[in-house]
Chains A and B, each alone.
Chain A
Amino acid sequence: LAKTTQPISMDSYEGQEVNITCSHNNIATNDYITWYQQFPSQGPRFIIQGYKTKVTNEVASLFIPADRKSSTLSLPRVSLSDTAVYYCLVGHPYDYKLSFGAGTTVTVRA
C-alpha cells in the first residue's frame, strides 16, 4: 500500500475554499486516490475518487498532477458543517487492507 502524508489540521472561515494536499510518493501504476470525510461520532463517508487529472462532483474537486505523487482535495465555499476529518487513501482496486491514516482535521469558523 502506498503511504500517504497529509497535514494534521487546517483552519478556515465560512465561504472560503479549502485545499488539502496529500502526498503519496510511492503510488503504483494501478492505484487510485480516494478521499473520505468523517464527522464527529459518525463513520467515514466517501467524497471523491480519481486516477489522474481532475475529478469534480457536487461536493468537491480532486486535482491530480501528471506524476501522481500528490493530490489535492478542494472544498469550495466551505460552511460550518464542513468541519470534519478528511482522509486520503491510496490503493489499487483489489486492495483488501485499506488503511486510514490520522487524516486532516478541518475546522471552519464563522
Chain B
Amino acid sequence: NAGVTQTPKFQVLKTGQSMTLQCAQDMNHEYMSWYRQDPGMGLRLIHYSVGAGITDQGEVPNGYNVSRSTTEDFPLRLLSAAPSQTSVYFCASSKGWGDTFQETQYFGPGTRLLVL
C-alpha cells in the first residue's frame, strides 16, 4: 500500500490564483481530512469527510473548498490564494471511528505552499 499520497510536494502561487491540492489513499478509509500547519504551530483542521459525498468544515475552512466523489480521493481547492494561506498542508485518513476507541489517523507527507 502506498498509504496517503499528496501532490504536489511544493507549490508557489501568486495572490489570487487558484489551485487544487491532491490527496489519495489506498487503504479504503472512510474518514479523510485536511490540516494546515503554520511555522511553530500545531495542525489546524480545515475540512473533513466521513465518506464519499459527505464533507464538513473544520476549524479554519474559509478560503478552501473540498469534495469527496470517491472513497480514495479528497482534493482541497484554494479558490483565490492569499499570502495568509502560505503553510504546509497535510492530508490524513483513518478507517473511521471505532465504538470503543479512536482509529489511528495516517498522514501524508505534506504539501508546502507559498503564496506571493
Contact = CB atoms under 8 A, between A and B. Distances in A.
Interface of A: 32, 34, 36, 41-46, 49, 51, 87, 91-103
Given A43-B110, A100-B35, A95 B42 contact: no
A94 B108 CA distance: 22
A43 B35 CA distance: 10
B74 interface: no
A89 B53 CA distance: 27
B93 to A, nearest CB: 11
A87 B37 CA distance: 13
Given A42-B110, A100-B42, A100-B43, A94 B90 contact: no
The A interface, classified by DSSP as helix, strand, loop or mixed, is loop
Contacts of A42: 107, 109-110
- Name the residue among B35, B43, B45, B50 with the largest chain A CB count within 10 angstroms: B43
Contacts, number: 66
B68 to A, nearest CB: 13
Interface residues of B, number: 29
Given A42-B109, A97-B58, 15 more contacts: A43-B107, A43-B110, A44-B43, A44-B90, A46-B105, A87-B43, A91-B102, A93-B98, A95-B97, A95-B102, A97-B45, A97-B59, A98-B102, A98-B105, A99-B44
B92 A43 contact: yes
A49 B102 CA distance: 8
A96 B43 contact: no
Contacts of B4: 43
B99 to A, nearest CB: 6
B43 to A, nearest CB: 4
B56 interface: yes
Contacts of B48: 96-97
A45 B110 contact: no
